[in-house]
Amino acid sequence: MFVTVSPPVGIKGPPFSDHRWSLLVPHRQRLLRIAGRRVNSPQDAEDCVHEALLRAAAFPPLDEARVGQFLTTTVLRLCVDLHRARARGDRAFARCAVGTNEPPPDERICDQAEGHWLMGKVETLQGRERQVLLARAAGKSTREAAQDLAISVKAAEGAFTRGRARLIAQCQA
């Protein structure tokens, strides 16, 4: 029993001819390298390349002089589509995930202890740096801290940057 494969609806002429495939197949390895750098697994890269080759084979107005550019663009777009689909799936899974996002009690206790230790380091800072860092620790924005302290936003940003740098230096010492 023989099965005849007809071209997709709307395709005229022989899109799956040997001549068409002879134009497409030499690009396969290059396309695999391109896709392999952009997706997580070799199987996903292979899928993107095969899909691009099939799309090119079925594309009636394919310009033989620009086959490489067409395939490259198609593979890149398929890689982007794959990433977008995965991100959509991850977001959907996160919304549907059962359970809470609360850290376990031991992590909360360690975070609190670290916070108390860091606040002790903040107390060693002087002047505006200390005031701005304490305001930021209280949940205020730099702009709100600047308004509360009656200084410019630039001055508050500078004090915050300097204070953070001093804290980092103290913590590394």
- CATH (domain of 130): 1.10.10.10
pTM for this prediction: 0.48
Domain enclosing residue 152, as ranges: 105-172
**Locate tokens 């410019």: which residue?**
152
Q: How many residues does the chain have?
A: 173
The DSSP secondary-structure symbol of 65 reads G
Show the beta-strand stretches assigned E in the chain: none
- Residue 48: per-residue pLDDT: 92
- Number of domains comprising the chain: 2
- Supply the pLDDT for residue 16: 67
Report pLDDT for 90: 87
32 and 88, same domain (yes or no): yes
User: What per-residue confidence (pLDDT) applies to 2?
Assistant: 42
The verdict on 91 and 112 lying in the same domain is no
Same domain, 58 and 110: no
d(CA 63, CA 146): 61
Residues 39 and 81 in one domain: yes
Distance of CA 19 to the CA centre of its chain: 39
Which of 61, 96, 131 terminates a domain? The answer is 96
Regions of the chain where pLDDT drops below 70: 1-16, 97-100
> Which residue type occupies 28?
R
C-alpha neighbours within 13 Å on the C-beta side of residue 93:
6
Q: Which residues contact 24 (CB under 8 A, 6 or more apart)?
A: 53, 56, 57, 67, 71
- Name the token pair of 162: 């300097």
Helix axes 127-137, 105-122, angle to 10 degrees: 160
- Alpha-carbon span 35 to 164, nearest angstrom: 41
Q: Are residues 82 and 152 in the same domain?
A: no
**C-alpha distances in angstroms, 95 versus 33, 46, 81, 86, 87?**
35, 30, 21, 14, 12
User: What per-residue confidence (pLDDT) applies to 168?
Assistant: 87
